[in-house]
Structure 1
Amino acid sequence: MSDHEPGTPTVLVVDDEEDIADIYSLQLQDRYTVRTVYGGQAAIEVVDEDVDVVLLDRRMPELSGNEVLERIRADGYDCRVIMVTAIDPEFDIIEMPFDDYLCKPVDKETLVEAIEQQLTAKQYDETVSELFRATSKLTVLKGEMSQDELEDSEEYQRLKETTDAMRSDAESLMSELDDFEAAFKAIDRSSN
């Protein structure tokens, strides 16, 4: 593992298939501080406040990725969680508190892009973070389900309505920030 500057994001790779976990780790170690574990219980033991992003396999023996995700959230860790899995998503993902969902196989570019997106999202307030999560779920389901299935799903329709409302809130927040920034610049110019 290469040495990193202080403040380098920490990524926890969790997969029971050691070869896959090791490949992801090798692909990421030049950009991030990487921790690698080969099962759900090991993930629970090593996750802490320093972990920024978790790459989490869903199907693992003994303690599944779903259970690990629940524990991470229940324990109050502020990390972003990206499910990286061979399990095709179904409507059950709507209630899962992950931040992104990638279907295997996943190449380095896709991993890095997803991690960077989550690191960016982590910097925003919870409204924007929730919007990222909901939009990710909508995108995954649109790619995997038929239009009829989507239209027939009350959960999907509720998520879509919630996402539209969150998007409106986020746009309002961004507008307020733009107004604040303009006012701040005007004050800054007048004080010089």
Structure 2
Amino acid sequence: MTDTVTVLIVEDETDLADTYAIWLEQEEYEVWTAYSGDEALSKLEPAIDVILLDRRMPNIPGDVVLKKAREREGAYQISMLTAVEPNADIFDLPFDEYLTKPVTRTEVLDAVERLVVRDSIEDDLNELFQLASKHSTLATQSNDDIERTQRKIQEEIQDQHETIQSKIQRLDDPEDYFSVIEEPPATYDSHDAP
């Protein structure tokens, strides 16, 4: 890895948290652990890239930690990693991924990789939007310097587009993530329910 990715594991079962930490450290992630919601909140800082968060913890549950993390400074990618089966209550939870225990080493590593890629795609999209804004700003002007600059911006837009496409292909199944953007799911009709 070129840049070290920092992962915070929030899990009250210490053996489980330590196991996840070993898996991630073997892949050269920097790993922090918190064994309670209180400890997690005290460790939240912008240096953290990914949070693996248990929902069911004594004192401060993961749902509360999740909401408080979203209020803090930091662009965290957060995966719930929990034995709690998802139900309708997840609608109000601002997580990026949801894994249900038990999980394998591969599932944890894949989830962290997906979150890292998705975060970098977000940065790349912001850069692409900035380039597009520059291009459209110069579109109303014309002279040799501006035309050269526009060509350079167009090349950078193309390069950025290719970078984004390449990262999207690194996701396990990019169609699962982006098909909802292209074609939103059909409206649920209660008459269709069994």
TM-score calculated relative to the size of structure 1:
0.63
Q: Distance in 2 between matches of 1:76 and 1:168?
A: 33
Q: Distance in 1 between matches of 2:19 and 2:105?
A: 9
Aligned pairs for 1:102-181 within 5 A: 102-125=99-122, 164=180, 166-167=181-182
Q: Does 2:69 correspond to 1:69?
A: no
How far does the alpha carbon of each residue in 1:61-114 deviate from its partner, in whole angstroms, 9 at most, with x for none?
A: 000000000010011320100000000110111221000000001111000100
Paired residue secondary structure (1:29): helix
Q: Distance in 1 between matches of 2:110 and 2:80?
A: 14
Q: Distance in 1 between matches of 2:113 and 2:81?
A: 15
CA contact (8 A) 2:45 2:73 kept: no
How far does the alpha carbon of each residue in 1:113-169 deviate from its partner, in whole angstroms, 9 at most, with x for none?
A: 00000000001238x8xxx9xxxxxx8xxxxxxxxxxxxxxxxxxxxxxx84x3369
TM-score calculated relative to the size of structure 2:
0.62
Match for 1:8 among 4, 21, 42?
Answer: 4
Task: In structure 2, give the amino acid aligned to 1:24.
Answer: Y
How far does the alpha carbon of each residue in 1:30-69 deviate from its partner, in whole angstroms, 9 at most, with x for none?
A: 2200001100010011111111100000000000000000
Q: Distance in 1 between matches of 2:75 and 2:115?
A: 12
Q: Distance in 1 between matches of 2:3 and 2:67?
A: 27
Paired residue secondary structure (2:7): strand
Rg larger in structure: 2
Structure 2: gaps spanning 5 or more residues: 126-167, 169-175, 185-194
Aligned length: 131
Task: In structure 2, give the amino acid aligned to 1:25.
Answer: A
Q: Could you say which residue in structure 1 is the equivalent of 2:22?
A: 26
Identical aligned residues as a percent: 36
